[in-house]
């Protein structure tokens, strides 16, 4: 898909991956509607985009609030939106017993309910365009269930299932659906505990710029199928689908370290 002149709604625009996506999309000539909760951060991002701020718009919204989502739909009604990127998300590195009921509910809301609801709201607009796309930012942990990420994994497995079903539901329309799943990426989503654990376990991490460039390449070359970004995570995702017992064994070896970091109160979150 050629991005020149396309209108893109990008949620989580000011986050680590979101800001890099905004930069790449602006460079490719797209017109952006940047969505986030912090007006000043959105304005700052808009002001530094390649090509200048003029073509782009901002929309301040807490996406967990239904009225804010309805307001976003209204803001999009005249904008002829071609692409929706559901990127806003939160992480939670915690053993299930340590997780609060509120944290579980709000993570599932933002990571799973919000992209489904936003997609439903913007689908009529997207269907009115000759070609359009919905891009859901998942995670490698949406294919590989990982200890201390049970709730996050549940949300991203759910998002992957939603994306796959919707992609098939919309095959006979002009709307393409992509599920793009980065592995660990160096953004504020990962607190110092997670960074320390990744370093101790030798887990590969990517720069958000690289993740954004990889997604842009997939959009440009029309690779709409679900994909986990990064090797060997893509291989493990396939292996886990075919033979989860093998992955159980590999992860069991890491479990004492994972639990040690999850329980560590000395590192700031
Ligand atoms: N970092 C990783 O290791 C990694 C790996 C795989 C997948 N991912 C996925 O990539 C996506 C982006 O993550 P990131 O790493 O860029 O995280 P990030 O830097 O923490 O950014 C998350 C963004 O989500 C937005 N957000 C949070 N709660 C919101 C709410 N209630 N309403 C509206 N926006 C809200 C934040 O916007 P505000 O500006 O309003 O705070 C922020 O811009 C997420 O879906 C994440 O699950 C990340």
Q: What is the DSSP string of 33-57?
A: EEEES-HHHHHHHHHTSTT-STT-E
Please count the helices (runs of H) and the strands (runs of E) in the chain. Answer: 10, 7
Residues with CB under 6 A from ligand 1: 11-12, 14-18, 36-38, 41, 61-64, 87-90, 110, 137, 139, 182, 184-185, 187-190
Q: Quick count: other Cβ atoms within 10 Å of Cβ 85?
A: 28
Please tell me the distance between residue 85's alpha carbon and the centre of ligand 1 in angstroms: 12
What is the pLDDT at residue 130? 94
Nearest-CA neighbor of 98 among 193, 202, 182?
193
pLDDT at res. 268: 64
Residue of 9, 15, 116 to test ligand 1 pocket, by largest number of atoms within 8 Å of CB: 15
- What pTM was computed for the model? 0.97
**Ligand 1 atom nearest residue 41's Cα:** 39
Provide the b/e sequence for 112-122 (b: ≥16 CB within 10 Å).
bbbbbbbbebb
pLDDT (tens digit, 9 = 90+) per residue, 210-260?
Answer: 999 999 999 999 998 878 899 889 999 999 999 999 999 999 999 999 999
Domains and CATH numbers, the chain: 7-263 (3.40.50.720)
CB 20 within 8 A of CB 28: no
- The pLDDT assigned to 265 comes to 75
Backbone angles phi, psi at 86, to 5 degrees: -85, 95
- Could you tell me the distance, in angstroms and rounded to a whole number, from the CA of residue 125 to the centre of ligand 1? 25
């Amino acid at each position: 898909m050629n991005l020149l002149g396309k209108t893109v709604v990008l949620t989580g625009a000011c986050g680590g991956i979101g800001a890099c996506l905004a930069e790449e999309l602006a460079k490719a000539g797209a017109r952006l509607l940047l969505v986030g909760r912090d007006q000043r951060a959105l304005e700052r991002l808009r002001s530094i985009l390649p090509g200048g701020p003029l073509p782009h718009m901002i929309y301040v919204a807490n996406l967990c609030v239904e009225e804010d989502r309805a307001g976003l739909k209204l803001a999009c009604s005249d904008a002829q939106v071609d692409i929706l990127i559901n990127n806003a998300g939160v992480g939670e590195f915690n053993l299930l017993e340590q997780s609060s009921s509120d944290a579980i509910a709000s993570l599932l809301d933002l990571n799973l309910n919000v992209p489904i609801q936003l997609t439903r709201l913007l689908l009529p607009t997207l269907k009115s365009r000759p070609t359009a796309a919905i891009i859901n930012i998942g995670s490698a942990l949406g294919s590989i269930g990982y200890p201390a990420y049970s709730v996050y994994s549940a949300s991203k497995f759910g998002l992957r299932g939603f994306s796959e079903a919707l992609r098939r539901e919309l095959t006979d329309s002009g709307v393409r659906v992509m599920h793009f799943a980065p592995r660990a990426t160096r953004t504020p989503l990962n607190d110092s505990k997670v960074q320390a654990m990744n370093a101790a376990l030798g887990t590969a991490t990517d720069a958000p710029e690289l993740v954004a460039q990889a997604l842009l390449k997939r959009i440009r070359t029309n690779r709409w199928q679900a994909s986990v970004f990064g090797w060997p995570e893509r291989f493990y995702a396939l292996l886990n689908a075919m033979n989860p017992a093998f992955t159980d064994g590999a992860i069991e070896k890491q479990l004492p370290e994972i639990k040690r970091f999850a329980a560590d109160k000395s590192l700031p979150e």
